[in-house]
Amino acid sequence: MVEPLPELSTEQSDPRYSQIDRLPTEQIARLMNAADAAVPVAVAVAIPAISAAIDAIAARMEAGGRLLYVGAGTSGRLAVLDASECPPTFGTDPSLVQGVIAGGPEALTRSIEGAEDDAEAGAAEMARLEVGRLDSVVGISASGRAPFVLGAVAEARDRGALTVGLSCNAGAPLSAATEHAIEVVVGPEVVTGSTRLKAGTAQKLVLNMISTISMIRLGRTYGNRMIEVSAMNAKLAERALRMVRDITGADLETSRKALEEAGGQAKVAVVMIEHGLDADAARALLESHGERLGAALEKVNGG
């Protein structure tokens, strides 16, 4: 039986904020800032569960699976946001990490009433995406009870996918429906029930961890550098050039020339400079080492 909505901690009213409409702007801002400061503490409590989920996700991605986020409302928008940042940050194909929001793309900019209550639509999305046993599906719901999300993870689990539930209430139905339960209990919101606030912040922090650490585990960074970045605009070109110079110690002209010949791919340029290869040979070397720059450099250096 689904827990009555008023009993959820994210729906309760905090008496500390009961008179905020009568307070000066700066005092309200300080109250909100103090409330937000509690969010990372709540996330820290959940780190063991977060870490276990990430290891399971990365293992499936290493085997060729995708990472799919599913949410409704604010949770769905955060899902799409995190997924959309992976290609420019980690050089991934857009299909590798995807965000699914109840109500479809239109729901990104306006509320689609009733979309989150449609469990069958959530299941249908998993069928449409042909979710399979190598995929990982992360259901995101502040309450932990959105039917669209529950329907999606149930279908994904039936299809053999890894399922993860991210919610902001203890003992959420989403936790019971998934293999890995992540509960970040942030308590009542400054504006009662407005889970775009602390709950949304908590979800964003956890999604940052899931995508970033998964990509680190997959070798899509070199140290703390975004080595998969491609120089597709002026800012990224400057970042890539600086990265190539920092890693190789090469001068400006050598680094710029290698980066141009590499088609803007920083890690290809690094291999070219470090081992005196042309772009095609550098790409072949990287491919033979699973696209991991560190492994390719160590191997050639006799490591």
Q: What is the DSSP letter of 265?
A: B
At 244-290, the pLDDT tens digits run: 999 999 999 999 999 999 999 999 999 999 999 999 999 999 999 99
Phi/psi for 139 (5° steps) reads -85, 130
DSSP-derived secondary structure for 25-52: HHHHHHHHHHHHHTHHHHHHHTHHHHHH
Q: What is the pLDDT of residue 162?
A: 98
Structure tokens at 157: 């689990």
What is the domain partition of the chain in residue ranges? 5-217, 234-300
pLDDT at 102 over 80: yes
Q: What is the pLDDT of residue 232?
A: 76
DSSP-derived secondary structure for 109-165: TS--TTGGG-HHHHHHHHHHTT--TT-EEEEE-SSS--HHHHHHHHHHHHTT-EEEE
Order of strands across the sheet with 180-183?
Answer: 97-101, 67-71, 136-140, 162-167, 180-183
Where helices occur in the chain by DSSP H, the ranges are 25-37, 39-45, 47-62, 74-90, 119-128, 147-158, 173-177, 198-217, 234-248, 252-261, 266-275, 279-288, 293-300
Superfamily in which the 5-217 domain is placed by CATH: Glucose-6-phosphate isomerase like protein; domain 1 (3.40.50.10490)
At 106-149, the pLDDT tens digits run: 999 988 878 999 999 999 999 999 999 999 999 999 999 999 99
At 211-238, the pLDDT tens digits run: 999 999 999 999 999 999 777 788 888 9
Structure tokens at 195: 């889970």
Tell me if residue 274 is catalytic. Answer: no
Tell me the pLDDT band of 14, cut-offs 50, 70 and 90.
Answer: confident
Separation between Cα atoms, residue 299 and residue 252, nearest integer Å? 26
Q: What is the pLDDT of residue 1?
A: 41
Mean pLDDT of all residues in 167-175: 96
Which residue out of 11, 116, 125, 183 is catalytically annotated?
Answer: 116
Tell me if residue 85 is catalytic. Answer: yes
> Which stretch of DSSP H or E encloses residue 67?
strand 67-71
Q: What is the pLDDT of residue 8?
A: 87
Mean pLDDT of all residues in 36-61: 98
Which residue out of 3, 7, 26, 85 is catalytically annotated?
Answer: 85
* Torsion-angle region of 158 (φ positive above 0: left; ψ -120 to 50: alpha; else: beta): alpha
Distance, CA of 56 to chain centre = 14
Tell me the pLDDT band of 302, cut-offs 50, 70 and 90.
Answer: very low
Q: Give me the helix-helix angle, 279-288 and 266-275, nearest 10°.
A: 100
* Whole-prediction pTM: 0.91
Residue of 157, 169, 167, 173 whose CA lies nearest to 207:
167
Structure tokens at 35: 């409330």
State in Å, rounded, how far the first CA of the chain is from the last one: 58
As assigned by CATH, the class of the 234-300 domain is mainly alpha
Residue type at 263 in one-letter notation: G
Tell me the pLDDT band of 3, cut-offs 50, 70 and 90.
Answer: very low
